[in-house]
């Protein structure tokens, strides 16, 4: 078997599995969406990273020593239709790296990351990834059963909160928070996030 240590050794039109992904040894950061390779945007800018850091800083004390665990990118999350049981690496064709995610079922965690849908995902938009987060990943997270999905818009200083409707299996926009609000996830109503600090210049 040929060792893959450069991205240009791969055919970007081919379909790959998570088993393939685990054998690659190149430096580029990618996501695998329905078997297709997607290059991550260039390194996130300072504003993006500041927001992720502040959000993580506010979330960490809440989840510390609780069953639900908080994780930051880079962290592999393997996704598939929620009606399927946990799959083997050869049967998984989507692996993403959310900015922040919370996982409450310890059985989903293994040495590689998360196998199945996290309970809550937060994505902070960058100029190069807004279509992927608002369309492609939105559909992926909905299909795989992520219960709550937050889209953070840094320059608009807003957060769109989507919650999965168990009956329709579709996301509903529950609330749009703005820059000086206290935001709270539906899944964890005791958690209050001060957006004035999140969006502080």
User: pTM of the full predicted structure?
Assistant: 0.89
**What sign results for the dihedral spanned by CA atoms 106, 31, 49, 122?**
negative
Same domain, 151 and 181: yes
Same domain, 68 and 11: no
Same domain, 81 and 164: yes
CATH of the domain at 53: 3.90.1570.10
pLDDT per residue rounded down to tens, the chain (201 residues): 577 777 888 888 888 888 888 888 877 777 888 888 887 766 668 888 999 999 999 999 999 999 999 999 989 999 987 666 566 677 888 899 999 999 999 999 999 999 999 999 999 998 766 666 678 889 999 999 999 999 999 999 999 999 999 999 999 999 999 988 999 999 999 999 999 999 997
Same domain, 120 and 150: yes
Q: Which domain holds residue 118?
A: 46-198
What are 107-110's contacts with CB under 8 Å, separation 24+? 109/69
pLDDT the model gives residue 67: 95
2 assigned to some structural domain: no
**Cα–Cα distance, 121 to 103 (Å, whole number):** 9
142 close to 164: Cβ distance less than 8 angstroms: yes
Same domain, 134 and 94: yes
1 assigned to some structural domain: no
Same domain, 76 and 34: no
Same domain, 35 and 104: no
89 assigned to some structural domain: yes
**Phi, then psi, of 189 in degrees rounded to 5:** -65, -20
């Amino acid at each position: 078997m040929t060792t893959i240590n450069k991205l240009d050794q791969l055919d970007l039109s081919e379909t790959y599995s998570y088993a393939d992904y685990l054998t690659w040894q190149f430096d580029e950061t990618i996501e695998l969406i329905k078997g297709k390779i997607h290059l991550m945007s260039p390194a996130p800018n300072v504003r993006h990273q500041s927001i992720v850091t502040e959000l993580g800083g506010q979330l960490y004390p809440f989840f510390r020593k609780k069953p639900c665990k908080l994780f930051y990118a880079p962290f592999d999350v393997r996704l598939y239709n929620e009606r399927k049981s946990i799959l083997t690496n050869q049967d998984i064709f989507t692996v993403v790296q959310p900015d922040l995610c919370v996982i409450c079922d310890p059985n989903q965690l293994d040495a590689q990351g998360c196998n199945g849908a996290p309970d809550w995902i937060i994505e902070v938009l960058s100029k190069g990834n807004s279509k992927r987060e608002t369309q492609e990943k939105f559909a992926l997270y909905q299909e795989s059963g992520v219960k709550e999905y937050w889209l953070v818009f840094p320059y608009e200083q807003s957060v769109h909160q989507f919650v999965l409707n168990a009956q329709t299996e579709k996301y509903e926009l529950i609330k749009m928070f703005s820059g000086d609000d206290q935001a709270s996830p539906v899944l964890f109503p005791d958690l209050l996030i001060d957006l004035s600090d999140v969006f502080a210049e």
